[in-house]
Amino acid sequence: MNNPKIENGLNKFLVLWVGELISNIGTGLTAFALGVYVWLMTQSAVDVAMVEMAALLPMILLAPAAGVLADRFDRRLLMMLGDIVSGFALVVLLVLIINGHIQVWQICVCIGVSSLFSALLNPAYKATITDLLTEEEYAKASGMVGIASSSKFLISPILAGFILAFSTIEVVLIIDILTFVIAVIAIFLIRKSLAIKPRVKEKLNFFNDLKEGWLIILESKGVLRLIVLVSFLMFYMGMIQVLSKPLLLAITDEKTTGILLTIIACGMLVSSIVIGNGILKKNYVNVMVGSFIVAGVTMAGFGATTSIPVILLSGFLFFASLPFANASIDVLIRKSIDNHKQGRAWGLISLISQVGFVVAFVIGGFLADHVFNPAFAEGGVLASTVGKIIGTGEARGIGFLIILAGLGLIITALFVSRSRGIRDMDTPNRVGTDRTGISKT
């Protein structure tokens, strides 16, 4: 017989998830539309990159502080505050665009403020999932969260392109603002029906709390190794993300590139749907290792050829493998850290893991333009050796860099498979938490 309390927690999670799904779609709409808007306004890739970094860096840098707040204050209230202020920043941006003569720096400030307060959402959101669900439901929830996250890359570009074809960026911003309203309503509904645990009344000290969050991670060698692993994962993901467009544009046109990238990204959505149906129930370390090996092999396949069908299949399988690794990592960490400490832990985990992503964006283009592309040009140092196998020219230097990243991913997986600390995390009932945040040992 089903437990009504468990079903109640799952229903609340579904309400929260729908709100975040809609909000993510709105965020993706604005990201796509602003990229087009800034490019048409300045014809400068640097300006487009500045807007993208304004959206990315605040969320990365503020993640640890947001994690501290998630453990100190009402997590649902923090999520509402983050959505409200983020939406207000978009209102200011909308007014500036309507009035005309907007500058790129003004767009960066508005997007930066929106991103700053969006940083409040992630640790509180992740910890709230643990509040609401049982350990058996974590993997399913991770798959559903993956669906919501991937929606900004799959659903949003198509919708934004359609809207911009018949309307303007102002309409896109208005829609995004309305999605924030829906998300706030969803959070309010679950907060109203969820008992709020009283927090310990003590003086707030960010540095002490951040130190405590780090010590929480250090308590388990497995958790620390997993965080390093996630950072490598994000680095490899960043490499293929920053290099895939130049590689495809070197062998085909813009329209075909857009279609290919959309189909490739669908791999992540398909896997997230499968995981969301509850297919992952045990052997999380083995699933994670297998996912990394598949990801590394398919990543190497993506870079090793100029054949569009092979690139399409390899890219699709690469992104299809990632949600299995992400869900496994997510469950292992939730099982290993007490719920009332998870906000601080997730904040630091987000910071460390996203560093790999930023590093890939910083060095990926440089390595491609100044090291590997020249090496595979006519007369280049690798043109007469490796070039005989994978070909020569601009796309081949980028391809070889992607192959190296794929091999690195495989090596990471083999390291994980031999890590006793990480394998020990897969032991049933290692820590565990209930929805009230009280640890179960």
pLDDT above 80: residue 337: no
Contact status, residue 172 vs residue 50, Cβ threshold 8 Å: no
- Under the banding of pLDDT at 50, 70 and 90, the label for residue 435 is very low
* Residues 22, 23, 27: CA angle, nearest 5 degrees: 120
CATH 1.20.1250.20 intervals, the chain: 1-193, 208-427
Q: For the segment 276-287, what is each residue's pLDDT rounded down to a tens digit?
A: 777 777 788 888
Q: What is the mean pLDDT of residues 257-268?
A: 76
The reply to whether CATH 1.20.1250.20 applies to domain 208-427 is yes
Q: For the segment 95-143, what is each residue's pLDDT rounded down to a tens digit?
A: 998 888 788 888 889 888 888 887 767 667 777 777 777 767 776 777 7
Contact status, residue 70 vs residue 346, Cβ threshold 8 Å: yes
Instruction: Tell me which range, 13-22, 112-121, 245-254, 414-423, is most confidently predicted by mean pLDDT.
Output: 13-22
pTM for this model (two decimals): 0.64
Distance between CA atoms of 30 and 156, rounded to whole angstroms? 9
Q: Which residues contact 401 (CB under 8 A, 6 or more apart)?
A: 239, 243, 303, 364, 367, 368, 372
pLDDT above 90: residue 61: no
Extract long-range pairs of 5-9: CB within 8 Å, 24+ residues apart.
Answer: 6/134, 6/137, 9/132, 9/133, 9/134, 9/435
* Residue 221: Cβ-neighbour burial (10 angstroms; 0-12, 13-18, 19+): middle
Between 41 and 165, the more confident residue is: 41
- Amino acid at residue number 430: R
The reply to whether CATH 1.20.1250.20 applies to domain 1-193 is yes
